């Protein structure tokens, strides 16, 4: 079979399954209940102006010109990392272009041959991909299932790492962080937490759930992502100074990639400064979350992510299209992104969604679901 024929066969299979993906444009005329812009910072003209003002204060190059170990490092980047480390409550922080790259960086390099990574089965693809690149043994545990986690801990050998998310991207539910840490202590395991969907929403000045729960000294590392609630791009790994030095020396996604540009670094610092000066934003979002939870308690969660399982790719697409026809940007999440049979609508709440809009979408969902 030629390469082209093989590609065509795989694409045809996706079409037959109703799971073929294609790129489309954001529908500006619809009410956004789909994006990860929870605090509205991606659309904030005030933040945009602040970033511009900071960037134009001095002459800066367009790009970083190289990797951090060659010509790409700068006092600007170091200062931003120090600021993030202090904000999150850790000894050090290391910047990356995205949360995907940060997870690849830590999970591909840190666990060694003979070690074990135990990860929640609902962990994001980047965690799983990072684990696949590692030479360590990989064991998934059932989602938020402490008993299954303990069973896997008993099977583990070498140095043990537990990977989970604080808030899960598809279900919007919270990991039992304190209980996971207690189990980790019993089995001398190191906990690594991805805060992609809690950064900016929880904790003082958006420092996340680990900070809000004062767990910094009980976890090995935390990945913070800035492309969701912070409305920009980039990420960092926060942890100890030896961890930062290890990443600098052994992590291929850090060593062999071009460093963030000055504009990217300024954008990160400006976004967190803006959030610090606008503490009402997370409170506003919490009000919207509570309003939704009251109207549809069967789909309640403490996060802005609301998961409405429909089942079946075609049925889920039909329901999403019906809601789009009524003016709401709601997207279907299909298999294989989620398990077959758990296809769903993933509804995201934002500070800019009005209570009237939330009330209406809840009413439409009640009618749709019977």
SS3 258: strand
| Confidence at residue 18, expressed as pLDDT on a 0 to 100 scale | 83
| Confidence at residue 183, expressed as pLDDT on a 0 to 100 scale | 98
Domains defined along the chain, listed by start: 21-38+304-369 (3.90.1150.10), 48-276 (3.40.640.10)
DSSP result, 150-186: HHHHHH--SSEEEEEESB-TTT-PBP-HHHHHHHHHH
For residue 24, is pLDDT > 80? no
Mind listing the pLDDT tens digit for each residue in 292-348? 999 999 999 999 999 999 999 999 999 999 999 999 999 999 998 899 999 999 999
| Confidence at residue 1, expressed as pLDDT on a 0 to 100 scale | 60
Mind listing the pLDDT tens digit for each residue in 133-169? 999 999 999 999 999 999 999 999 999 999 999 999 9
Mind listing the pLDDT tens digit for each residue in 185-239? 999 999 999 999 999 999 999 999 999 999 999 999 999 999 999 999 999 999 9
Q: How far apart are CA 226 and CA 174, in angstroms?
A: 19
| Confidence at residue 2, expressed as pLDDT on a 0 to 100 scale | 65
306 bridge partner residues: 347
| Confidence at residue 112, expressed as pLDDT on a 0 to 100 scale | 96
CA triple 322-231-333, angle to 5 deg: 30
For residue 171, is pLDDT > 70? yes
| Confidence at residue 27, expressed as pLDDT on a 0 to 100 scale | 75
Q: Mean pLDDT across the chain, nearest whole number?
A: 95
CA atoms within 13 A on the CB side of 155: 14
Mind listing the pLDDT tens digit for each residue in 262-280? 999 999 999 999 999 999 9
CB atoms within 10 A of CB 99: 27
Where residue 77 falls among pLDDT bands split at 50, 70, 90?
A: very high
For residue 117, is pLDDT > 90? yes
* pLDDT, average across residues 19-43: 89
**Percent over 90 (pLDDT), the chain:** 90
């Amino acid at each position: 079979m030629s390469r082209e024929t093989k590609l065509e066969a795989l694409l045809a299979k996706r079409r037959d399954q109703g799971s073929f993906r294609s790129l489309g444009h954001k529908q500006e005329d619809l009410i956004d209940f789909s994006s990860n812009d929870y605090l509205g910072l991606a659309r904030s003209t005030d933040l945009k102006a602040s970033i511009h003002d900071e960037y134009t204060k001095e002459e800066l190059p367009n790009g970083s010109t190289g990797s951090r170990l060659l010509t790409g490092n700068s006092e600007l980047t170091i200062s931003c990392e120090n600021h993030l480390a202090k904000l999150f409550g850790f000894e050090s922080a290391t910047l990356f272009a995205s949360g995907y790259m940060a997870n690849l960086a830590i999970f591909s390099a840190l666990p060694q041959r003979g070690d074990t990574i135990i990860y929640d089965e609902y962990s994001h693809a980047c965690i799983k991909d990072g684990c696949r690149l590692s030479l360590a043994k990989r064991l998934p545990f059932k989602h938020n299932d402490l008993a299954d986690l303990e069973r896997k801990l008993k099977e583990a050998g070498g140095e043990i790492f537990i990977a989970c998310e604080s808030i899960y991207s598809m279900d919007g539910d919270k990991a039992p962080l304190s209980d996971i840490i207690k189990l980790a202590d019993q089995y001398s395991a190191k906990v690594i937490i991805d805060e992609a969907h809690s950064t900016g929403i929880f904790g003082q000045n958006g420092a996340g759930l680990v900070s809000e729960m004062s767990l910094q000294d009980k976890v090995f590392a935390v990945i913070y992502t800035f492309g969701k609630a912070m409305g920009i791009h980039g990420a960092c790994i926060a942890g100890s100074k030896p961890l930062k030095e290890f990443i600098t020396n052994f992590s291929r996604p850090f060593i062999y990639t071009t460093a963030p540009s000055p504009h990217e670094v300024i954008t990160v610092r400006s976004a967190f400064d803006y959030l610090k000066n606008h503490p009402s934003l997370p409170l506003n979002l919490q009000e919207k979350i509570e309003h939704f939870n009251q109207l549809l308690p069967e789909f309640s969660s403490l996060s802005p992510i609301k998961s409405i399982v429909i089942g079946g790719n075609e049925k889920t697409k039909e329901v999403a299209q019906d809601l789009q026809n009524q003016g709401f940007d709601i997207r279907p999440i299909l298999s294989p992104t989620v398990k077959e049979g758990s296809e769903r609508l993933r509804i995201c709440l934002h500070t800019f969604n009005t209570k009237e809009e939330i009330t209406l979408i809840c009413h439409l969902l009640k009618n749709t679901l019977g």
